Structure 1
Amino acid sequence: MATSTPPSWPSNNNPSGESPAESTTWDVELLRVLVSRTGTQVDAQWAIHPQLKQDLLPAEWKEVTDLMAKVTDIVGSRFSEVLSHVEPDPPGHA
């Protein structure tokens, strides 16, 4: 599922020059698309941040669901297409 994480700064300083206590900036992952494969099988999944899901109206949630189904179909199909043009690893000895 999507996550939120606190900012990660080097221990001595950060890019903005502010200390972590002075800044309220967080990296938030609102949406994630994950494509994985096992052999020739390709799987595409998506996730949305739980708070964002709660904030959406039912019609908006349906629209997001429909759009993300299309995204995962496109990404998964493209990944499968590229994978089909890659030569398999030659057998070897370990």
Structure 2
Amino acid sequence: MPTYHARVFVTLKPSILDPQGRTVERALSHLDHANVAGVRVGKYIELTLSGEREAVEAQLADITGNVLSNPIMEDARWELSEVESVGA
């Protein structure tokens, strides 16, 4: 059964204020990085799943949209790559 490595990226929608991103931006400015703007902070999650690719993709879409993110406030995307078997 194939094994897959998933990377999930969750960010606040552009219309949602990001106080954490704003705090990081202010801190960077105070550290002489005044040319940095538009800082947004998000989440990065890694998962390992096994099964047939089509089923894994459907499962990952469900997990991403219903568990790892709030679709009202956040955008989420994922990347999936097959893990090569060792000794196969």
Question: TM-score, normalised to structure 2's length?
Answer: 0.29
Question: TM-score, normalised to structure 1's length?
Answer: 0.28
Higher relative contact order, chain-length normalized (CA < 8 Å, sep 6+): 2
Structure with a larger share of its residues in strand: 2
